[in-house]
């Protein structure tokens, strides 16, 4: 790790605000961001994934995959945008279970902007999965700019199936869907992404309103946002050079794959 990144990490730890100078630009052809981990344990309980997205072009002929991994036929988790600009979460636990292992419901869809994606504007996109102790149901919430736009309670994914989630070394990718363990990414998306974060709890609506409303240091409390201790990974894309992207939590530094570029177009 170079000295520039070391200084940024030190500065990040003591400040609740920072200059957001760079984002990741993906060309939609073969670019992606490898998080460096399959986050197997992370997806076995309650969790939240959030990121900033800017899409000016949208392929209306097929879905755009924003992030995920799939080890067919055993397990998979991914988020995509349908041909009409709607968001979807799919979660598959383990093929050893005969039934009830898909979570993919029209109730977790919402229109973002149709054929224009996000219309060339920055949007904060987040999804959370919550399972109360002792309950067989999961609650999935989709957020745009910190506001819940869909809520689904599902019995399709039972507790045992989620606990058996086993991607088997298939790292989570952003900007496409990582298919199998050799990091073979398909369905690439042309977009800008920034401030990708993962928490091992389902953030409350009040907390998400803050996290999805502005860019700030997620490792520090900020108003109703008090989930700094639940942060598993946070890739800020502040480097502006090289292919290595620091995880501000120190858990899993990521890699830009096949030439994503650095953009000065960032959310604020």
d(CA 190, CA 185): 14
pLDDT tens for 172-219 read 999 999 998 889 999 999 999 999 999 999 999 999 999 999 999 999
Q: Where are the alpha helices (DSSP H) in 97-235?
A: 159-163, 205-211
Give the integer Cα–Cα distance in Å for 76 and 166: 8
Model confidence pLDDT, tens digit, residues 218-261: 999 999 999 999 999 999 999 999 999 999 999 999 999 999 99
> What is the average pLDDT value for the chain, to the nearest integer?
84
Specify if 2 maps to a domain: no
Burial of 6 (0-12, 13-18, 19+ CB in 10 A): exposed
Lowest mean pLDDT among 74-88, 97-111, 112-126: 97-111
pTM of this structure:
0.89
Q: Does residue 236 sit within a domain?
A: yes
In percent, the amount of the chain with pLDDT more than 70 equals: 84
Residue 5 within a domain: no
Q: Which domain holds residue 240?
A: 20-263
Mean predicted confidence (pLDDT) in 124-140: 86
Does the structure show a pLDDT above 90 at 47? Answer: yes
CATH number at residue 97: 2.60.120.200
Q: 50 lies in a domain?
A: yes
Q: Within a domain: residue 246?
A: yes
More confident residue, 240 or 109: 240
- Does residue 3 fall inside a structural domain? no
Strand, coil or helix: what is 226?
Answer: coil
Q: What is the C-alpha separation between 200 and 151, in angstroms, rounded? A: 19
Residue 10 has pLDDT above 70, yes or no: no
- 75 or 108, higher pLDDT: 75
pLDDT mean over 87-98: 73
Q: Which long-range contacts (CB under 8 A, 24 or more apart) does 132-138 make?
A: 135/159, 138/103, 138/162
DSSP string covering 68-97, please? EEEETTTEEEEEEE-TTSBEEEEEE--TTS
Query: Looking at residue 172, what is its pLDDT?
Result: 97
- Which is nearest to 64 in space by CA: 161, 188, 147, 213? 188
> What span, in angstroms and rounded, lies between the C-alpha atoms of 150 and 159?
22
Between CA 228 and CA 220 the distance in angstroms is: 5
- What is the total count of domains within the chain? 1
Query: Is 146 inside a domain boundary?
Result: yes
Residue 171, in any domain of the structure: yes
The vertex-72 CA angle with 173 and 63, nearest 5°, equals: 55
């Amino acid at each position: 790790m170079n000295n520039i990144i070391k200084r940024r990490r030190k500065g990040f730890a003591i400040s609740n605000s920072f200059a957001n100078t760079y984002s990741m630009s993906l060309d939609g052809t073969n670019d992606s961001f490898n998080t460096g981990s399959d986050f197997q344990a992370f997806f076995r309980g309650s969790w939240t994934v959030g990121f900033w997205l800017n899409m000016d072009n949208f392929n209306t002929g097929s879905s755009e995959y924003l992030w995920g991994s799939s080890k067919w036929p055993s397990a998979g988790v991914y988020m995509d945008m349908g041909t009409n600009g709607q968001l979807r979460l799919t979660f598959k636990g383990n093929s050893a279970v005969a039934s009830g292992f898909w979570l993919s419901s029209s109730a977790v869809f919402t229109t973002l902007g149709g054929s224009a994606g996000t219309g060339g504007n920055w949007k904060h996109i987040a999804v959370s999965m919550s399972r109360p102790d002792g309950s067989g149901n999961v609650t999935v919430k989709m957020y745009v700019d910190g506001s819940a736009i869909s809520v689904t309670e599902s019995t399709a994914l039972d507790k045992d199936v989620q606990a058996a989630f086993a991607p088997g070394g298939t790292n989570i990718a952003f900007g496409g869907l990582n298919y199998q363990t050799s990091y073979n990414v398909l369905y690439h998306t042309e977009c800008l992404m920034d401030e990708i974060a993962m928490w091992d709890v389902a953030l409350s609506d009040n907390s998400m309103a803050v996290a999805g409303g502005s860019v700030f240091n997620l490792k520090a409390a900020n108003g109703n946002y008090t989930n700094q201790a639940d942060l598993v990974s946070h890739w800020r894309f502040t480097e502006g050079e090289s292919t290595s992207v620091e995880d501000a939590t120190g858990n899993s530094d990521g890699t830009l794959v096949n030439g994503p570029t650095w953009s000065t177009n960032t959310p604020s």
